[in-house]
Amino acid sequence: MSPRVLPAVPGAVPILVWARSLPPGAEQQLRHLASQPYVVEHVAAMPDVHVANGVAVGSVFATAHHVVPGALGGDLGCGVSAYRFDYPAASLGRDTLELLLTLLAQAIPVGDATHRGRGLPLPAALEAPPLSTQKLSHVWERLAPRHLGTLGGGNHFVELDRDAGGDLWLLLHSGSRGVGAAIGEHHQRVAVALGEGSLPGLDLHTQEGAACLADLDLACRFARANRDTLATRALDVVSRTLGIEVDPRSTVDLHHNHVARETHFGRELWVHRKGAVGLEAGQPGLIPGSMGTASYVVEGRAEPRAFRSCSHGAGRVLTRREARARIRPSALAHALRRVVHDAGRAESLVEEAPAAYRDLVEVLEDEADLVTPVRRLTPIAVLKG
């Protein structure tokens, strides 16, 4: 699908939309973003675009020398990982899948749970990183060891899937947890006080802008370390229980809330992605569906008009509040009848029901010039945050 172009209004850049339908609230947020004085070229809206706090999820834009902390989502560095086993997933009966889910829940704190006491040892490079304020350093010292290797809540998950060839996969989705939230909130306050635009951006030529960028990088590094730790624990459960080893060549890991220095349209720019993934041509990526629908391993097509980006998932069509009001636990149970999950949490899990999300097949059709689907992954067991 070629993008629709929303004509630019005076003082704003154009908006390129890859979604077949654009929620009115999301359009309003995209237009607000396009009107900011630091945005260059255009704004790109991914097929899973939907309303969120401040900036729509699925927004991609670039600046010449500004960083915009309020345009990167509340979970800095949030992303997904995928791992393949050369093992027939169809041989796993429901009893084995339920055992695996129980063991995963014992190995990984989910929801608001964290590690007790001093927590886990941090990687050497993250033990005492040079954060921009003493308060953030104290937050890091207190939270990072306890949040490392924890899943969090909402749409975060650890999932077992099978591909079309029958192989078993492990998927996970998490981010920077409380550490990233504290960093994002601090720099958003600074931006509100000192930044430019009605969606405040910090000039990278200033001390405040440089400090923001450095701290955001640390949040993304922690998010990756968190997913690596989650993966180590989850892969150990699968390996010990089934007596198998992961195929290291299959590993995929990608951020979808971040800012990166990249070359576009002949110049160096700072590309901001909120709920979007950057993929080079041929680079493997993972686009997850909902907890009851398929995910896809994809390859990037490096579409320049999208800043070499693609969707990060299916995209919500119902807010969490709307999902709780409209989706009955019995409807969720029916939708997940073939997926092992914690049925005792049905009332809270309706927020993540398949009906709360777009059809991922339609999303992939809308971004046919952004990615090429390579492998379809069907969920067989899901641990939600």
**Residue numbers annotated as active site:** 312
Q: CA dihedral defined by 36, 310, 286, 143, rounded to 10 degrees? A: 0
User: Is residue 58 left, alpha or beta, with left meaning phi > 0 and alpha meaning psi from -120 to 50?
Assistant: left
Q: Which residues, 6+ apart, have CB-to-CB distance to 193 below 8 Å?
A: none
Q: What is the 3-state secondary structure (H, E, C) of the chain?
A: CCCEEECCCCCCCCEEECCCCCCHHHHHHHHHHHCCCCEEEEEEEEEEEECCCCCCEEEEEEECCEECHHHCCCCCCCEEEEEEEEEEHHHCCHHHHHHHHHHHHHHCCCCCCCCCCCCCCCCHHHCCCCCCCHHHHHHHHHHHHHHCCCCCCCCCEEEEEEECCCEEEEEEEECCHHHHHHHHHHHHHHHHHHCECCCCEEECCCHHHHHHHHHHHHHHHHHHHHHHHHHHHHHHHHHHHHCCCEEEEEEEEEECEEEEEEEECCEEEEEEEECEEECCCCCEEEECCCCCCCEEEEEECCCHHHCCEEECCCCECCCHHHHHHHCCHHHHHHHCCCCECCHHHHHHHHHHCHHHECCHHHHHHHCCCCEEEEEEEEEEEEEEC
Cα gap 366→77, rounded to integer Å: 25
